[in-house]
Chains A and B, each alone.
Chain A
Amino acid sequence: MLQEIRERAQGWIAWAIVILITIPFALWGIQSYLGVGTEPIVATVNGTEIKTRDLDMRVEETRMRMRERLGAAYRPELFEGAALRDQVLEGMIQEQLLLQASLDMGLRASSLELQGAILANPAFQRDGRFDKETYDRMMQLQGMSAMQYEESLRQRIVGTQIQRALVASELVTEQELTGAVHLDRQQRRLSYLRLPKAEFRNDSPLPEEEIQAWYESHADRYRTPERVKLTYMVLDAAQLSAGQPVDEEALRDRYAEQLETFRTPEQRRARHILVTLDQGADQAAEAEAKARIEAIRARLTAGEAFATVAQEVSQDPGSASQGGDLGLLGQGVMDPAFEGATFALELGQLSEPVRTPFGYHLIEVTQIQPETLKPFEEVRDQLATEVSQGSTESAFYDMAERLANLVYEHPDSLEPAATALGLPLQTSDWVGREGGADLLASPKVVAAAFSDEVLREGTNSDLIEPEPEVLRAIVLRVTEHEEAAPKPLAEVREEIITTLRERKAAEAAQVAAKAMVERLQAGETLASLAASQPVTEAGLVARDSAAVPADVLDLAFTLPPVAAGAPRYGFRPAADGDALVVAVTEVVDGDLGGLDEAALQGTRRELAQVLGSSYFDTLLKDMAFRAKIEREPMGEEQSR
């Protein structure tokens, strides 16, 4: 049977099968088989998946942006929860919907728009202009190719095109403009008076059961907050460093260690004359160059000035014009042969011809700057500062470690640690969850004080370093704890009585105002009714008038318009509990005639803007309404 299989396997059919199998592998590669469906997804929008990884990335980006924008005001608890995740996911779903719809419709971003968007992005600019290098570097930083980036940018542009189209094409009819101006710039003639609640205050004793009932129904108002008293110890680097003697011996050791950094090695100022000669030059050229350099040397030894000759014949373009001067040279800079010669010469001595890869040189040393070493006395203070800084820091970490160990080994008391380290124990007054003074105000410290271990189990806290950049640490334990508790009625009785009287007075003012409005509607006038209170005649005012209190305006403009000359009356409580009574005697619609062309154009634009972008939002909702969106049930473990 094996024989048969072997024979058949050699037939052309077998080969054809093998070739057929190779094709998909050749085209798609093995990873697309291995990677199928392994990535977790959070939602599907019309069949397109939103990957958990992408959502996580976006959430992290959002957090980072918020952290940057809010700085110290950033509150992690506001941005760590599932709420932000949901919000970001909804945004991504909308984005996906819009992109799908736009692409399905056949909207595209042209290369011109793409180019414009890239050129205008300040992130890719240097000195206010687009810079290709910066662009490439940004791409590298983001770990994507320029093609990928341009594709994603295209998608973003396409996504905004429909929005721009809707807002830009929004129209406003003359009728709508007129209507809007009539309402928006409407003016009303009004007068008002205020009935102060103080006038309706009744100081007669309140029935006990009323006080009791209020106390019971508003129990959560009358509670003492949960609070603790703390014993704590602060380790502060600033106090460690003060008054520490500096050990002279240690400074000398440090000086010896760092000797090299205080040494400036010998430098020599040299000048030279060069006759160039290639490294691989043949013997004839070599001989000729040698002859020339010897000739020059002869001129110099005969007494001609080095500088003049150098200017005349040296073939080193850099130095010839300087009379061959090369400036101060250290060691390890020049060609070894050149350097060897230079540092072997005496001051003012002319060298023999020196062969380097450049050719033949004649060298003369014009100045020798001997090696210098900064003496200990000169750098002592600098060293002392370094040492004390370093020792403070290491002392702090040293002590912090010992402190952490001690409070861990003796979880029931801070005393052993205090004695061992010589740190004073401090005690606090009552501290609530809002924090105390100085270090106790830090949220980290408060969180530790109210943590289960410290509060319930009565152990020492861990060592806490509240400020990231400051070498200051605190460890604490709770010595007294008071649960949030209802305040006894006796303690809050007076407070309740005041509250109730205020409320009753405000209610009575409202009743009086209502009665007043009824009499006004029956035909009496505000002036005749206002016995003790002055009536304010505000005249004709607009909605946004600053001359009239906002709550008066609010009431006056929500009353129905005046019909047939009959005034409208209304009342409402003011923010402070007084009662307001308002009379509107005239309503004048906003007038287009009072607006110049620019103002009209501005109003038109504003109306179109509001309508257009609102239609766009509705369009998005409509797309979501029609789409097939599946949200994976988000595991709590994902959002922690």
Chain B
Amino acid sequence: MNVYETDEEKVEAIKGWWKENGLSVAGGLAIGLAAVFGWRAWVDHQEGQAQQASAAFEQLVATVETGNADAARTQARLLLEKHGDSAYGALTQLMLAKVEIAAQQPQAARQALEQAMAKAPEPGLAKVAALRLARLLMAQGEREAALALIAREDQGGPFAADFAALRGDLALASGRVAEARADYERAIAQGAANTALLRLKLENLPPAG
């Protein structure tokens, strides 16, 4: 490393260095600051968008509660247009499915549930959507499709109990009582939803043999 003899030499050296590198230093600083502020602005924008979507979604929930299907559809459409790719998109599809079922539009409900599954921001939410879709298919009499869906989506874990309960319903609908019994028993043992009703179903099965 070079050692400077006098103050003048030092000043000269600094000036020379600045001439050579000043532009890149200033440029680097500018880029750095722009990146920091740009990032902050982007995060703020995202946050704002998410909050808007949240408020719109809460409003949709309230509307669905009133039972006004047309208003709910309009609000859902607007929400999907603006925030369709966010988590609220998938939740909106779930709400929409309920609206369509209540309005006796199973086809539309089915589409909504398929969308909810595809866009689910969380694997667990996809499972809930799948369960609802399977129940809808069963109500439509499409037992094969429902079974196929269940076979695809049932990957063990805590939701297995609820899938087992649906398998039981499907087996019973096809007259396979012994299978239904086994499925119900498994569902109850693993703590599926609405065990009280499942128990009634189990007790109401014709005797074996």
Contact = CB atoms under 8 A, between A and B. Distances in A.
Interface residues of A, number: 52
Nearest to B203: A558
A8 B1 contact: yes
Contacts of A560: 203-207
Given A168-B95, A622-B127, A180 B197 contact: yes
Contacts of A563: 206
Contacts of A13: 1
A111 interface: yes
Interface residues of B, number: 57
Contact of A108 (B50, B138, B203): B50
B98 A171 contact: yes
A614 B195 CA distance: 10
A33 interface: no
B14 interface: yes
B51 A110 contact: yes
B194 A107 contact: no
B206 A105 contact: no
A7 B131 CA distance: 76
Given A7-B3, A113-B58, A171-B98, A108 B51 contact: yes
A4 B1 CA distance: 11
B78 to A, nearest CB: 16
B51 A625 contact: no
B205 A171 contact: no
Contacts of B206: 560-561, 563
B32 interface: no
Contact of A12 (B14, B65, B86, B192): B14
Contacts of B52: 110
B27 interface: no
Contacts of A557: 203
A173 B135 contact: yes
A621 B158 contact: yes
Majority DSSP secondary structure for residues of B touching A: helix
Contacts of A169: 64, 91, 94-95, 97-98
B108 interface: no
Contacts of A607: 194, 197
B114 interface: no
B109 interface: yes
B87 A622 contact: no
Interface stretch (A159-167, A237-245, A374-382, A509-517): A159-167
Contacts of A172: 101
A165 B201 CA distance: 28
Interface of A: 7-8, 11-13, 101, 104-113, 161-162, 164-166, 168-176, 179-180, 183-184, 186, 557-558, 560-561, 563, 607, 610-611, 614-615, 618-619, 621-623, 625-626
22 contacts: A11-B1, A11-B3, A107-B87, A109-B54, A110-B54, A113-B58, A161-B57, A165-B91, A165-B94, A171-B98, A171-B101, A171-B132, A175-B138, A560-B205, A563-B206, A611-B194, A615-B162, A618-B161, A618-B193, A619-B125, A622-B158, A622-B159
Interface of B: 1, 3-4, 10, 14, 47, 50-55, 57-58, 61, 64-65, 86-88, 91, 94-95, 97-98, 101-102, 109, 121-125, 127-128, 131-132, 135-136, 138-139, 157-159, 161-162, 192-194, 197, 200-201, 203-207
